[in-house]
Amino acid sequence: MTDNDVKIIGRSNTTVPEEMTIAETIKKFSQYNEMRSWRGGNCYYQFYSSRGTIDFIGYKHNPTGVIFMLQEQRSDAMGTRSIMLNGTQSLSITWHNPADCSGIDKMQAEMDAVDSKRKNWDIVKLNVKDDFVSCFHDFYIMDGSNYMAKGDYSPIMEVSEVLQKGCKVIKQQKQVKNKQPIEQTNKIQEMII
């Protein structure tokens, strides 16, 4: 059997991530109005700098490393912080219910083209890679309704935690952090003259 005897037909636009330099990656993600979101909008919005660079949600295909993102919030992490009277704080992070998001059908069709049972796709929490933290707020990767651009985010994102193994059923994700004592960072020193 030779290579000519076997014809490999691609089933999806999702491919193994291509190697890019840092400069090439920055150029790709910082092009104004060049990408389209899963719901079809033009991507000409960036994340506000106050949003930070951690605690995003995404969908990772383990064999290829491809990462998809559906919808995020531009200004703040998707969660609430509560300050208790006993001097502790609690934090819960809740992401959108994907079933309520426009464009999920397009993303799922792309996921299913690779793995129809989606057993190799995990729901993951993402952080921006260190190389791109300083310029992340310059990336045009969202449309006007907080939907993310179609395509692979593995060049700029890394997985910090697996929230769900396999995602045939994609549920709303919530992570609750335990109550923690509030740390006073701006200590006031008294001066006695």
pLDDT band at 1 (very low <50, low <70, confident <90, very high): very low
Percent of the chain with pLDDT over 90: 41
Residue 96 domain-assigned? yes
% residues pLDDT > 70 (the chain): 75
Domain range enclosing 74: 20-179
Q: What pLDDT score does 11 carry?
A: 43
Quote the DSSP letter at residue 190. P
- What SS3 state is found at 27? helix
Sign of CA pseudo-dihedral 71, 56, 69, 61: negative
Domain annotation covers residue 155 = yes
In a domain, 188, yes or no: no
3-class SS string, 86-132: CCEEEEEEECCCHHHCCCHHHHHHHHHHHCCCCCCEEEEEEEECHHH
116 in a domain, yes or no? yes
pLDDT in tens, 169-187: 887 776 666 666 656 555 5
Question: How many independent structural domains does the chain possess?
Answer: 1
The answer to the question of residue 47 being in a domain is yes
Is 95 a residue whose pLDDT tops 80? no
Does residue 185 form part of some domain?
Answer: no
Residue 192 lies in a domain: no
Residue 2 lies in a domain: no
Residue 132 CA to residue 184 CA, distance in Å, equals 30
* Predicted pLDDT of residue 115: 81
